[in-house]
Structure 1
Amino acid sequence: MSDPWDGRGGQATRSRTTRAPGTRAQAPSTERPTHGRASARAASRRGGGGGGRASRRAKRAGRGGRLLKVVGLCLAVLVLGTAGVGWWFYQHLNGNINSVSLDGKGGTEKADAFGRTPINILVMGSDGRTSAADCKLGGGCSRTGVQSGYGNADVEMVVHISADRSNATVMSIPRDTMTNIPACKDTENNTSTSGYYGQVNSALQYGPACQVATVHQLTGIPIDHFVKLDFSGVVKMADAVGGVSVCVNGNVYDTYSHLKLSKGTHTLKGEAALQFVRSRHGFGDGSDLGRTVSQHIFLSAMIRKFKSAGTLTDPTAVYDLANAATKALTVDDGLGSISKLVSLADDVNKVPAKRMTFTTMQTAPDSSDSNRVVVGAGAKSLFSTIANDQSLTTGSGKKSTAPSATAKATASASPVSRSEIGVTVENGTDITGRASAVATALTDAGFGSGSTTANAPSQATSTTLTYGPDQNAEAQEVADALNLPGSALKKASTAGLTLVIGSDWSNGTTYPDTATTAKTATANAHASTADDSKTCAKVSQYRTVSLNGVAMTPAQAYAAAGNKPDSDE
Structure 2
Amino acid sequence: MLRIVGMCLSILVLATAGAGWWFYQHLNGNINSLALDGKGGSETADAFGRTPINILVMGSDGRTSAADCKLGGGCSKTGVQSGNGNADVEMVVHIAADRSNATVMSIPRDTMTNIPACKDPDGSASTTGYYGQINSALRYGPACQVDTVHRLTGIPIDHFVKLDFSGVVKMSDAVGGVSVCVSDNVYDTYSHLKLSKGTHTLKGEAALQFVRSRHGFGDGSDLGRTVSQHIFLSAMIRKFKSAGTLTDPAAVYSLADAATKALTVDDGLGSVKKLIGLAADLNKVPAKRMTFTTMQTAPDPSDSNRVVVGAGARSLFATIAGDQSLTTGSGKKSAAASATATSSPVPASEIAVTVENGTTVTGRASAIATALTGQGFNSGTTTVNAPSAAATTTLTYGPGQKAEAQTVAEALVLPSSRLKQGTGTGLTLVIGGDWTSGTSYPGATSSPTSPSSSSSASGDAQAAVSNAHASTADEAKACAKVSTYKTVSVNGVAMTPSQAYAAASDKPDSAR
Pairwise same-fold verdict (TM > 0.5): yes
Say if 1:228 and 1:329, in contact at 8 Å, map to a contact too. yes
Secondary structure in 1 matching 2:151:
helix
1:58-457 equivalent positions in 2, closer than 5 A: 86-394=20-328, 396-397=330-331, 430-432=415-417
Opposite residue 557 of structure 1, the aligned amino acid is A
Residue 481 of structure 2 is aligned to residue 543 of structure 1: no
Say yes or no: does 1:534 pair with 2:477.
yes
Distance 1:141 1:390, change over 3 A: same
Residue type at the aligned position of 1:525: A
Does the CA contact (< 8 Å) of 2:322 and 2:458 recur in 1? no
What is the CA deviation profile of residues 518-549 of structure 1, one whole-angstrom value per residue up to 9, with x for unaligned ones? 33211000000000011100000011001111
Output the amino acid matched with 1:550.
V
**C-alpha deviation, 1:192, in angstroms:** 1.2
Q: Tell me how far apart the structure 1 counterparts of residues 290 and 108 of structure 2 sit (CA, whole Å).
A: 20
Moved more, 86-95 or 277-286: 86-95
Alignment CA distance shift 1:190-1:552 (3 Å)? closer
SS for the counterpart of 1:301 is helix
TM-superposed CA distance for 1:345, in Å, is 1.6
Paired residues of 1:430 and 1:459 also in contact (CA < 8 A): no
What is the Cα deviation at residue 83 of structure 1? Answer: 11
Shift of 1:314: 1.4
Structure 2 unaligned runs (5+)? Answer: 1-15, 334-412, 420-433, 446-454
Q: Distance in 2 between matches of 1:433 and 1:269?
A: 54
Deviation at 1:433, TM superposition (A): 10
Question: Is the CA contact 2:102–2:289 (under 8 Å) kept in the aligned structure 1?
Answer: yes
State the shift of 1:460 in Å.
Answer: 3.8
* Distance in 2 of aligned mates of 1:84 and 1:265: 36
Against the structure 1 CA distance between its residues 304 and 83, is the aligned structure 2 distance closer, same or farther, given a 3 Å change threshold? Answer: closer
Q: Which residue is equivalent to 2:3?
A: none
Shift in Å, 1:191: 2.4
Change (3 A) 1:280 1:456: closer
Q: Deviations over 1:269-288 (max 9, x none)?
A: 00000000000100001100
1:291 to 1:221, Cα distance in 2 relative to 1, 3 A: same
Q: Structure 1 regions of 5+ residues with no counterpart? A: 1-81, 400-427, 435-454, 463-486, 489-501, 505-516
**Deviation, structure 1 residue 227:** 0.1
By how many angstroms is 1:336 displaced? 0.2
Equivalent residue, structure 2, for 1:563:
506
Greater shift, 149-158 or 181-190, is seen at 181-190
Check whether the contact 2:315–2:461 (CA below 8 A) recurs between aligned residues. Answer: no
- Quote the residue 1:75 is aligned against: none
Q: Compare 160-169 and 342-351 and name the one that shifted more.
A: 342-351
Distance 1:198 1:191 in 2: 16
Which residue type is aligned with residue 195 of structure 2?
Answer: L
CA displacement, residues 236-274 of structure 1 (integer Å, 9 cap, x when unaligned): 111111100000000000000000000000000000000
Which letter maps to 1:160?
H
Once residues 197 and 291 of structure 2 are traced to their aligned partners in structure 1, the CA distance between those partners, rounded to angstroms, is: 26
Tell me which residue corresponds to 1:74. Answer: none
Mapped to 1, the partners of 2:119 and 2:292 lie a distance apart of 32
Aligned counterpart, 1:27:
none
In the aligned structure 1, how far is the partner of 2:224 from the partner of 2:88? Answer: 14
Conserved 8 A contact 2:17-2:23? no
- Whole-angstrom distance in 2 between the partners of 1:138 and 1:459: 46
Contact 1:461 1:503 in 2 (8 A): no
Distance in 1, Cα, partners of 2:418 & 2:150 = 33
Give SS of 2:20's match: helix
- Number of residue pairs matched by the alignment: 391
Letter in 1 for 2:310: G
Point out which structure has higher relative CO (alpha carbons under 8 A, 6+ apart): 2
Once residues 282 and 543 of structure 1 are traced to their aligned partners in structure 2, the CA distance between those partners, rounded to angstroms, is 10
Q: Does 1:519 align with 2:462?
A: yes
Relative to structure 1, the CA distance from residue 84 to residue 217 in structure 2 (aligned partners, 3 Å threshold; closer, same or farther) is closer
* Deviation (angstroms), 1:377: 0.8
Q: Is the 8 A contact 2:319 2:458 kept in 1?
A: no
- Larger gyration radius, structure 1 or structure 2: 1
Structure 1 residue 190 displacement after superposition: 4.7
CA contact under 8 A between 1:393 and 1:518: conserved in structure 2? no
Whether the aligned pair in 1 keeps the contact of 2:58 and 2:87 (CA below 8 Å) is yes
The answer (yes or no) to whether the contact 1:354–1:395 under 8 Å persists in 2 is no
Task: Give, in whole Å, the separation in 2 of the partners of 1:429 and 1:131.
Answer: 48
